Amino acid sequence: MITERSERLYGLDHLRTLAIVLVLLFHYRAFKHPEWIDTVGKFGWTGVDLFFVLSGFLISGQLFQEISRKGSISLKTFYIKRFFRIIPTYLFTLFLYFTIPFFREREALPPLWKFVTFTQNYGLDVINQGTFSHAWSLCIEEQFYLVLPLFLLVVMSSKLFKYFAVLIIFFIMSSLIIRLVIWNISVAGIDHNSLELWRSWYMKIYYPTYTRLDGLGIGVLISYCMQYSSGFKSMVHHNGNRIFFVGTLLLSISFWVCNEQASEVASVFGFTLVAISYGFIVLSAVSASSFLSKRKSYITAELAALSYAVYLSHKGIIHIVQTLFERFDLETSDTICLVFCLIGCLIIALLYRVLIEKPFAGIKDKILKLRK
């Protein structure tokens, strides 16, 4: 859910907005909702995969550029930037969840230490402890931010850097193979009409980091190719709209494959196909010839900037709004309530920005200036 904004790549703002809208529609299905949300939001879970591709692309791109300029990576600078971008807002949301029961969209929270250590995505029983469950993806991203620069430093000190693309493809394929093994060992024998299937599927296939490396891996791979292959970069910049068409076509095929999300083919191949599809669309968004990169939008730029705060807080806000609607005997399953929920999410995200994100961004800038 965390991606750095670019001053020039307007297309990425459009994609961040798409990602957060997909996630919101998908999660809204867990609350009282209009019937059309079931259809429109069915594949909203792929919004997280789009966020993964964007994060992999942008964060690795920053590191590759630093390597090209300086020949190395400043771990302190990288981790300071990540800390002040992520942790203050996250800790405040944790504070809300653990101190204000009214904010919780469900009853049972996993232990606090799992949230603080960003290990909540391991062994997450979403059926019985599903409150703030959406933080699982932030856990994966935090683990990614911790490991990627260290991995790059190790690879740079050896002769493996020229085989970096092969290494990333290896990690992506390993994730696919692990899902295949887990499916056959832990999921295949469960009654597919039971709640236990979903509990096991989410816990063992959907949430763990080692089964969800596809999106981040694809993002890193295309970033590496853009940085170090002039031919690849030229091809992308000259064929932006064609790449977008290929990406949307592949995404349509991915949705067909993933129509039954917990099926074997979707569990094993679906995440990889979705990640590749969004990888093409991200490349289109940064292509100089693409319609996505040429059109600046104030709305998508603002929504993209608010996406992290919206992602963290949206379930709590939707729960609060619907609870208030019920207390005043107002309908909660119609589009009017949906609109109020979305407005509430945006208002709280703006408060996050003013009260938390901007002040801590200022502290970050001061610390980085002192280090120069």
Q: Is residue 2, in this structure, part of any structural domain at all? A: no
Beta-carbon-side half-sphere exposure of residue 156 (alpha carbons within 13 Å): 15
How is residue 158 annotated by DSSP?
A: S
Report pTM. Answer: 0.95
Q: Is residue 4, in this structure, part of any structural domain at all? A: no
The token pair that represents 190 in the structure block: 């469960």
Number of domains in the chain: 1
Chain center to CA of 331: 32
CA distances from 112 to 71, 133, 182, 352 (A): 40, 12, 28, 22
The token pair that represents 145 in the structure block: 């931010």
Q: Is residue 96, in this structure, part of any structural domain at all? A: yes
Measured in degrees and rounded to the nearest 5, phi and psi for residue 6 equal -115, 140
Cα first-last separation, the chain: 29
**162-171, long-range: CB < 8 A, 24+ apart:** 164/224, 165/221, 165/224, 165/225, 168/217, 168/220, 168/221, 168/224, 169/217, 169/221, 171/213, 171/217
What is the per-residue DSSP string for 182-231? HIIIIITTS-TTSHHHHHHHIIIIIS-GGG--HHHHHHHHHHHHHHH-HH
Listed residue (55, 93, 104) closest to 216, CA to CA? 55
| Helix, strand and coil in the chain, % to nearest 5 | 75, 0, 25
CB atoms within 10 A of CB 133: 23
Q: Is residue 163, in this structure, part of any structural domain at all? A: yes
Q: What is the pLDDT of residue 5?
A: 43
Q: How far apart are CA 124 and CA 138, in angstroms?
A: 14
Q: Is residue 272, in this structure, part of any structural domain at all? A: yes
Range of the domain at 232: 10-371
Q: Is residue 5, in this structure, part of any structural domain at all? A: no
Q: What is the pLDDT of residue 107?
A: 79
Exposed/middle/buried for 284, CB within 10 Å: 0-12, 13-18, 19+? buried
pLDDT in tens, the chain (372 residues): 655 444 457 899 999 999 999 999 999 999 999 999 999 999 999 999 999 999 999 999 999 999 999 989 999 999 999 999 999 999 999 999 999 999 999 878 999 999 999 999 999 999 888 899 999 999 999 999 999 999 999 998 888 888 999 999 999 999 999 999 999 999 998 988 888 999 999 999 999 999 999 999 999 999 999 999 999 999 999 999 999 999 999 999 999 999 999 999 999 999 999 999 999 999 999 999 999 998 889 999 999 999 999 999 999 999 999 999 999 999 999 999 999 999 999 999 999 999 999 999 999 999 998 866
Question: Which amino acid belongs to residue 296?
Answer: K
Q: Contact, 73 vs 360, CB < 8 A?
A: no
Q: Contact, 201 vs 195, CB < 8 A?
A: no
Q: Is residue 249, in this structure, part of any structural domain at all? A: yes
CA distances from 257 to 167, 184, 252, 271, 362 (A): 27, 18, 9, 10, 46
The token pair that represents 153 in the structure block: 């430093």
Q: What is the pLDDT of residue 8?
A: 59
Please name the residues in contact with 324: beta carbons below 8 A apart, sequence gap of 6 or more.
Answer: none
φ/ψ bin of 90: left (φ > 0), alpha (ψ from -120 to 50), beta (otherwise): alpha
